[in-house]
Chains A and B, each alone.
Chain A
Amino acid sequence: KQEVTQIPAALSVPEGENLVLNCSFTDSAIYNLQWFRQDPGKGLTSLLLIQSSQREQTSGRLNASLDKSSGRSTLYIAASQPGDSATYLCAVRLEYGNKLVFGAGTILRVKS
């Protein structure tokens, strides 16, 4: 059974700091991995999607990497801002079917 773990569970950093969020998964048979942002009381907003054949994706200050063989992904946020404060979720899409398996998320707080 695929399990997805996100470390740390919570992170508090000063504004301007670069930071890394970690996501690990137990079964490397994934089709892609997606990072989401969730603001309190809101839905999920897709940030980046990495296909299993790719190593990384970039969007603005965000960079996500994927090492499928070791079961790891990282989300790098450069020059963090208070507006980045949210919960960040990673989810893997299994090779068999269209199901997403989610991690529990990392709660990020960027202090001004």
Chain B
Amino acid sequence: NAGVTQTPKFQVLKTGQSMTLQCAQDMNHEYMSWYRQDPGMGLRLIHYSVGAGITDQGEVPNGYNVSRSTTEDFPLRLLSAAPSQTSVYFCASSYSAARETFNEQFFGPGTRLTVL
């Protein structure tokens, strides 16, 4: 298994540009999520999905869109990039969205985004 993969690893955008960060997992995981990591603030949840066709907002959703058309893929779209979106973005997945299951979360390697 490749686990959780993310592309690109690095990206530089100009203010106002749009782009999509890709995330894929090959573990047949039901739950997928996107976090951003900023210095001194830990990771904060942007959006998450409990299964194909179902998405919901996390703690900091403004300026981002997601979709989940397949179990494997969970892309994150920046609609109009702003300097405040400069961050490292991590995608994560876990086997089930159900509370009762042993639900270790697995993280991708991250995408480092700079918005000028």
A interface residue numbers (CB < 8 A to B)? 4, 31-32, 34, 36, 41-46, 49, 51, 89, 91, 93, 95, 98-100, 102-105
Is the Cβ of A99 less than 8 Å from the Cβ of B45? yes
Q: Please, which residue of chain B has its CB at the minimum distance from the CB of A105?
A: B42
Given contacts A98-B97, A99-B58, contact A42 B43 (CB under 8 A): no
The interface residues of chain A, by DSSP majority, are classed as strand
Chain A residues closer than 8 Å to B8, beta-carbon distance: none
Given contacts A98-B50, A98-B97, contact A42 B110 (CB under 8 A): yes
Please measure, in the bound complex, the distance between the C-alpha atom of A104 and the C-alpha atom of B43, giving whole angstroms: 7
What 20 new A-B contacts, CB under 8 Å, besides A49-B102, A98-B31? A32-B103, A34-B104, A41-B112, A42-B109, A42-B110, A43-B107, A43-B108, A44-B107, A45-B107, A46-B107, A98-B33, A98-B99, A98-B103, A99-B45, A99-B48, A100-B33, A100-B92, A100-B105, A103-B42, A104-B42
The interface residues of chain B, by DSSP majority, are classed as strand
What total of A-B pairs shows CB separation below 8 Å? 62
Please measure, in the bound complex, the distance between the C-alpha atom of A31 and the C-alpha atom of B107, giving whole angstroms: 19
Min distance, Cβ B103 to any Cβ of chain A, angstroms: 7
Is the Cβ of A104 less than 8 Å from the Cβ of B41? yes
Q: Please, which residue of chain A has its CB at the minimum distance from the CB of B112?
A: A41
Chain B residues closer than 8 Å to A105, beta-carbon distance: 42
Could you say which of B45, B105, B109 contacts A34, with CB atoms under 8 Å apart? B105
Is the Cβ of A46 less than 8 Å from the Cβ of B40? no
Please measure, in the bound complex, the distance between the C-alpha atom of A100 and the C-alpha atom of B104, giving whole angstroms: 11
Q: Please, which residue of chain A has its CB at the minimum distance from the CB of B6?
A: A43
Name, among A41, A42, A98, A99, the residue most crowded by chain B CB atoms within 10 Å (CB to CB). A98
Given contacts A42-B110, A98-B48, A99-B58, contact A93 B103 (CB under 8 A): yes
Given contacts A95-B99, A103-B42, A104-B40, contact A49 B104 (CB under 8 A): yes
Given contacts A32-B103, A98-B31, contact A43 B43 (CB under 8 A): no
